[in-house]
A = this chain, B = another copy of it.
Amino acid sequence: MNTLAFIDAALDEDIGPGDVTTLATVPLSREGRGVIVAKQALVVCGQELARRVFARLSERMGAEVRYLPLVPDGAAVRMGDEIAHLEGSLATLLVGERLALNLLMKLSGIATTTRRHVDAAGPTGPRVVDTRKTTPLLRDLEKDAVRCGGGVNHRRALYDGVMIKDNHIAAVGSIADAVAAVRRAAHHLLKVEVEVTDLDELQQALDAGADVLLLDNMGDDQLAEAVALARALRPEVTLEASGNMNPERIRAIRDLDLDVISVGGVIHQATWVDLSMRITG
Residues of chain B within 8 A of A32, CB atoms compared: 167, 171
- Separation in Å of the A228 CB from the closest CB of chain B? 20
The oligomer's copy count stands at 6
Of A14-22, A198-206, A218-226, the segment with at least 4 beta carbons within 8 Å of chain B is: A14-22
As a 0/1 sequence over residues 77 to 98 of chain A, the CB contacts with chain B under 8 angstroms (1 = contact) are 0000000000000100011001
As a 0/1 sequence over residues 132 to 165 of chain A, the CB contacts with chain B under 8 angstroms (1 = contact) are 1111111110010000000011111111111111
User: When the two chains form their complex, are residues A3 and B161 in contact, meaning their CB atoms are under 8 A apart?
Assistant: no
Given A155-B187, A159-B15, A8 contacting B2 (CB threshold 8 A): yes
User: Within the complex, which residue of B24, B161, B168 is in contact with A94, where a contact is CB–CB below 8 Å?
Assistant: B168
User: When the two chains form their complex, are residues B22 and A136 in contact, meaning their CB atoms are under 8 A apart?
Assistant: no
Residues of chain B within 8 A of A94, CB atoms compared: 167-168
User: When the two chains form their complex, are residues B20 and A190 in contact, meaning their CB atoms are under 8 A apart?
Assistant: yes
User: When the two chains form their complex, are residues A238 and B21 in contact, meaning their CB atoms are under 8 A apart?
Assistant: no
- Separation in Å of the A130 CB from the closest CB of chain B? 10
User: When the two chains form their complex, are residues B140 and A137 in contact, meaning their CB atoms are under 8 A apart?
Assistant: no
Nearest residue, chain B, Cβ from A186: B20
Residues 43-65 of A contacting B (Cβ, < 8 Å): 48, 60, 62
Residues of chain B within 8 A of A25, CB atoms compared: 164, 168-169, 171-172, 178, 181-182
Given A60-B2, A159-B160, A129 contacting B14 (CB threshold 8 A): no
Cα–Cα, bound, A158→B161 (Å):
13
Given A138-B137, A168-B26, A20 contacting B268 (CB threshold 8 A): no
29 A-B residue pairs with CB within 8 Å? A2-B8, A2-B12, A9-B136, A15-B157, A16-B158, A17-B139, A17-B156, A19-B159, A21-B163, A21-B186, A22-B168, A24-B184, A25-B172, A26-B172, A98-B158, A103-B136, A105-B268, A106-B268, A137-B137, A153-B187, A156-B187, A160-B160, A160-B190, A166-B279, A188-B259, A188-B260, A189-B190, A189-B193, A191-B191
